[in-house]
Amino acid sequence: MSKHPVYHSGELYLQKQSGVEAKADKLAKMMVVDFLSEQQQQFYPLLNTIFVASVDTQDKPWASIIMGAPGFLTVPDHKHLKINAQPLAGDCLIDNIKHNQYLGFLGLEYHSRRRNRIAGELIEHNDQGLLIKVQQAFGNCPKYIQARKAIVSNNSNHHPDNDVEEFSQMNDACKELIEQADTFFIASYHPDAEQKGADISHRGGKPGFVSIENNDTLAFDDYRGNNMYMTLGNLYTHPHAGLLFINYETGDLWQLQADAEIIETFNETNTRKIQLTIKQVRKLSSALSIEWNFLEYSPYLI
């Protein structure tokens, strides 16, 4: 088990509000450890992408992705994950890791809907890649993941000549992608000295599950998950989020940084609404040399 408390004040508050403290405590004891289990050690080398949460100099979180041929993620031992690749050129992750070494990771195998998460600390970055010391590791259920087959079509990283564009608000192309999106990734951060850490999580739904309220505001309903409230707990204590939307046809990445508000809209399903006011938008054109083939929607959405 982890030597530090698993949950911080924001997570504990939301667990209490939802009446799931006992379930969350049981899950923490069963699932959350400070090392990579045998299952996780076998899982990460299968992947060709890993999603990363980092924070900038203002402690604002950003969501990123690093790619490579299967095997680019290795496990030197049960306490460390090695990423044998570099952040994509133009990704703010490059600058963020110079400022703050606390990172969050999500490993997602789309076609099997398997996923695992890590909270860790970057302890080495060189020409060979990034070495991460594991602080928390746990698995996630397969809910709301759309099955896709992802094949690396070119082992080279994102080319420096590809455009990186920055915007103060969402443009029409960004809005169109979000309106059609069935998946996005959300990064969050808890800045408390004792339990400092970043996290990145998956959100999925039928196209339209993320609503655009105006040029600078998004919203989505947060469905009941594993009762840990790790993402929402971070947003409650540090109301900022980083979003990542992938254009699965072109390989374009859209990174959005937003202020977050949790709106308590309890109903028969105890759903909360998350409202996101967009502050910055970055587009990395043709960033991913991966061919994505859609297989099917999550059965939880039928």
Is 197:34 a contact under the CB 8 Å cutoff? no
Is 2 domain-assigned? no
Give the per-residue pLDDT at 2: 44
Give the per-residue pLDDT at 207: 97
Domain that holds residue 133: 9-301
Give the per-residue pLDDT at 269: 57
Nearest to 152 by CA among 37, 6, 288: 288
Nearest to 236 by CA among 27, 55, 17: 17
Burial of 140: CB neighbours in 10 Å, binned 0-12, 13-18, 19+: buried
Is 4 domain-assigned? no
Is 3 domain-assigned? no
Give the per-residue pLDDT at 155: 46
Is 131 domain-assigned? yes
Domain tally, the chain: 1
Give the per-residue pLDDT at 28: 66
Is 36 domain-assigned? yes
Give the per-residue pLDDT at 196: 81
Q: Which residue has the tokens 């069935």?
A: 182
- The answer for residues whose C-beta is within 8 angstroms of residue 193's C-beta and 6 or more apart is none
Q: Which residue has the tokens 């044998």?
A: 84
Is 85 domain-assigned? yes
Is 234 domain-assigned? yes
Give the per-residue pLDDT at 58: 95
- For residue 29, the domain's CATH number is 2.30.110.10
pLDDT in tens, 145-165: 999 999 988 644 455 566 799
Q: Which residue has the tokens 């999580």?
A: 201
Mean pLDDT (10-residue bins), the chain, 302 residues:
64 73 71 92 98 97 96 98 95 96 97 96 96 94 94 63 86 97 96 84 96 93 75 89 97 97 70 92 93 95 80
Is 1 domain-assigned? no
pLDDT in tens, 199-220: 999 999 999 999 999 889 999 9
Cα-only R_g, the chain: 18
Phi, psi of 272 (to 5 degrees): -105, 145
